[in-house]
């Protein structure tokens, strides 16, 4: 090696990679911002020319009339027909009072505590509340369909509030399906609930960019659907040509994004269906984020057993390490006590049957302490060892209330301090050691009685022997 050269440490290399990645992201965001600015200026120029050509078009006026506001917020069509007769302007800007209070400078060094005012328009109010007839009247009166005094268009509001009829009305009257809000999102990015599916369909029918990115997070609509566990949206976007492996600012693909989301027990199936659709569409299960977390790492951390099974069936690597040196097994064991309704024992069992590394025996008392609310998890884990050195520390690791609740199970564990493991268990360990990571493939193919097959695959029995 030359005296003028030196070896980069892994940390230095990682730092250089991150710097290069951040530079590339900065360049992309700059290009995207310039693109949106140019598009905005072009649209503004066209609108300004139209305003000069037509004297009938009037600029938006500020409206403080409480009667008008009451009619809009209640969806009173008869009142609106009187308030907005033919020939009147419907392009109004409304300053509703209320919300949070903030300090505002009044001049001469004085400040006043006033209510924060969020600018809106009649279109925003009616579209977000689903008042389709009122919205139609305003559009017929020439309301500016893309007016966004508060930073979002009426189309954003209708999609976020899941109002498909209003969404379609706005699009029919020329609303920009790719309008970017001041937060850098397009209407497709605010379709975040199952009820917004029809809105998403209309947006795509009227030219919404299927791979359009949000400014800050660089999410595509497919990322949004995956993050929110929306299988119908996911299928729809893929039919329209969504890029299945595009990365966002954090280096997450849609599959990574779905696996990384915190999931309640009642949401597990929704996220599983999303992952199933994405893998069926060819999503790469080996792509990792900036910290080398794979989808399997994330699925274990959020304890979704069906997703873990899906990823393992598609060839996910059980022993890949992230930058912190942790494998998927570490991730699930750290969250067992918080994820009891998610059946964490299923994940531990699946990982072991696919050849996962085991816990260092000296650390088993710590695992016992943190996982004692899930005896099945402990049972599966301990049955992966041919010999165990049970000490008083094991007994002290289990909280008294859980020791009492699961008395029979923990007594069978602690009895191993005086009794060796059974011959049957030792035979199981020998077979599993021979097969290693092939256990899940070979055992089901053997013509074995159901009891023996399940026993080899670490089925739960409620005690240790």
pLDDT of res. 65: 75
What was the pLDDT predicted at 5? 46
Is residue 130 situated within a structural domain? yes
Same domain, 74 and 203: yes
The pLDDT assigned to 139 comes to: 94
Beta-carbon contacts of residue 129 (< 8 Å; ≥ 6 apart): 73, 75, 161, 163
Do 127 and 200 lie in one domain? The reply is yes
* Cα 141 from Cα 90, distance rounded (Å): 6
- Which of 340, 357, 374 corresponds to the end of one domain? 357
User: Are 123 and 116 spatial neighbours (Cβ–Cβ below 8 Å)?
Assistant: no
CATH number reported for the structural domain that contains residue 314 in this entry: 1.25.40.20
pLDDT digits (tens, 9 = 90+) for 50-99: 444 443 445 667 777 788 888 888 889 999 888 888 877 777 888 765 55
Query: Does any domain span residue 393?
Result: yes
Could you tell me the pTM of the whole model? 0.81
pLDDT of residue 88: 76
**Residue given tokens 């004692």 in the structure block:** 372
Same domain? For 200 and 292 the reply is no
Residue 94 per-residue DSSP state: E
Please count the other Cβ atoms lying within 10 Å of the Cβ belonging to residue 303: 25
Q: Is the pLDDT of residue 152 over 90?
A: yes
**Domain of 149, in residue numbers:** 65-80+116-209
Kindly state whether residue 437 falls inside one of the protein's structural domains.
Answer: yes
Does 50 map to a domain?
A: no
Tokens coding 353? 């049957």
Closest to 189 in 3D by CA, of 239, 225, 164, 154? 225
426 and 375 in one domain? yes
- Residue 57 has a pLDDT of 43
185 in the same domain as 257:
no
Residue 32: pLDDT band (50, 70, 90) is low
Please say which residue of 341, 357, 373 terminates a domain.
Answer: 357
Taking 90 as the threshold, does the pLDDT of residue 107 lie above it?
no
* Structural domain includes residue 158: yes
Residues 260 and 330 in one domain: yes
Q: DSSP readout, 98-125?
A: -S-EEEEEEETTEEEEEE----B-HHHH
List strand residue ranges (DSSP E) for 349-436, in order: none
Asked if residue 270 is part of any domain, the answer here is: yes
Same domain membership, residue 434 and residue 328: no
**Phi, psi of 42, deg, nearest 5:** -65, -45
Q: Are residues 272 and 312 in the same domain?
A: yes
Same domain, 290 and 300: yes
Per the domain annotation, does 174 fall within a domain?
yes
Say if residues 458 and 384 touch (Cβ distance below 8 Å).
yes
Last residue of a domain, one of 334, 357, 380: 357
228 plus 313 within the same structural domain: yes
Res 344 pLDDT > 60? yes
Average pLDDT of the segment spanning 177-202: 96
Tens digits of per-residue pLDDT, 386-396? 999 999 999 99
Q: What is the percent of the chain where pLDDT is above 70?
A: 82
pLDDT above 90 coverage of the chain, percent: 71
298-336 tens-digit pLDDT: 999 999 999 999 999 999 999 999 999 999 999 999 999
CA–CA separation, 392 vs 381, rounded Å? Answer: 19
Which residues share a beta bridge with 103? 113
Residues 448-454 have a mean pLDDT of 94
pLDDT for 6 equals: 47
Same domain, 200 and 255: no
pLDDT in tens, 212-239: 999 999 999 999 999 999 999 999 999 9
The number of folded domains in the chain is 3
Q: Tell me if 395 is assigned to some domain.
A: yes
DSSP track, 125-190: HHHHHT-HHHHHHHHHTT--TT--TTSS-HHHHHHHTT-HHHHHHHHHTT--TTPPPTTS--GGGG
Q: Are residues 295 and 389 in the same domain?
A: no
């Amino acid at each position: 090696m030359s005296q003028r050269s030196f070896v980069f440490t892994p940390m230095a290399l990682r730092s250089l990679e991150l710097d290069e990645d951040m530079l590339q992201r900065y360049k992309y965001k700059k290009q995207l911002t310039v693109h949106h600015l140019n598009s905005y200026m072009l649209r503004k120029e066209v609108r300004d020319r139209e305003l000069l050509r037509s004297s009938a078009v009037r600029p938006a006026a500020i409206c403080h009339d409480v009667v008008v506001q009451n009619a809009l917020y209640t969806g009173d069509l008869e009142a609106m027909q009187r308030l907005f007769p033919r020939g009147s302007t419907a392009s109004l800007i409304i300053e509703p009072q209320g919300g949070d209070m903030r300090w505002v400078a009044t001049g001469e060094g004085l400040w006043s505590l006033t209510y924060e005012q969020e600018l809106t328009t009649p279109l925003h109010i009616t579209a977000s509340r689903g008042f389709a007839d009122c919205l139609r009247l305003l559009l017929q009166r020439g309301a500016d369909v893309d007016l966004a005094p508060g930073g979002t268009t009426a189309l954003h509001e209708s999609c976020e509030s899941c109002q498909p009829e209003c969404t379609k009305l706005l699009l029919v009257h020329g609303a920009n399906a790719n309008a970017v809000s001041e937060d850098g999102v397009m209407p497709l990015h605010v379709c975040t609930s199952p009820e917004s599916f029809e809105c998403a369909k209309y947006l795509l029918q009227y030219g919404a960019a299927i791979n359009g990115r949000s400014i800050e997070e660089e999410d595509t609509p497919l990322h949004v659907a995956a993050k929110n566990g929306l299988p119908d949206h996911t299928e729809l976007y893929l039919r329209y040509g969504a890029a299945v492996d595009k990365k966002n600012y954090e280096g997450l693909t849609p599959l990574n994004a779905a696996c990384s989301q915190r999931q309640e027990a009642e949401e597990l199936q929704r996220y599983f269906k999303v992952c199933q659709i994405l893998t069926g569409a060819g999503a790469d299960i080996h792509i990792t984020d900036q910290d080398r977390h794979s989808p399997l790492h994330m699925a274990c951390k959020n304890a979704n057993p069906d997703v873990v099974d899906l990823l393992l069936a598609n060839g996910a690597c059980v022993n890949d390490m992230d930058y912190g040196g942790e494998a998927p097994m570490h991730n699930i064991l750290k969250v067992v006590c918080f994820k009891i309704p998610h059946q964490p024992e299923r994940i531990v069992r699946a990982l072991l049957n696919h050849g996962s590394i085991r816990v260092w025996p000296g650390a088993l008392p710590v695992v016992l302490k943190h996982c004692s609310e899930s005896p099945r998890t402990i049972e599966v884990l301990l049955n992966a060892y041919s010999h165990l050195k049970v000490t008083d520390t094991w007994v002290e690791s289990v909280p008294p209330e859980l020791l009492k609740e699961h008395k029979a199970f923990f007594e069978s564990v602690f009895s191993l301090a005086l009794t060796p493991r059974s011959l049957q268990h030792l035979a199981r360990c020998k077979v599993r050691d021979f097969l290693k990571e092939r256990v899940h493939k070979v055992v089901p193919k053997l013509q074995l009685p159901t009891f023996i097959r399940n026993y080899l695959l670490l089925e739960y029995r409620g005690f240790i022997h």
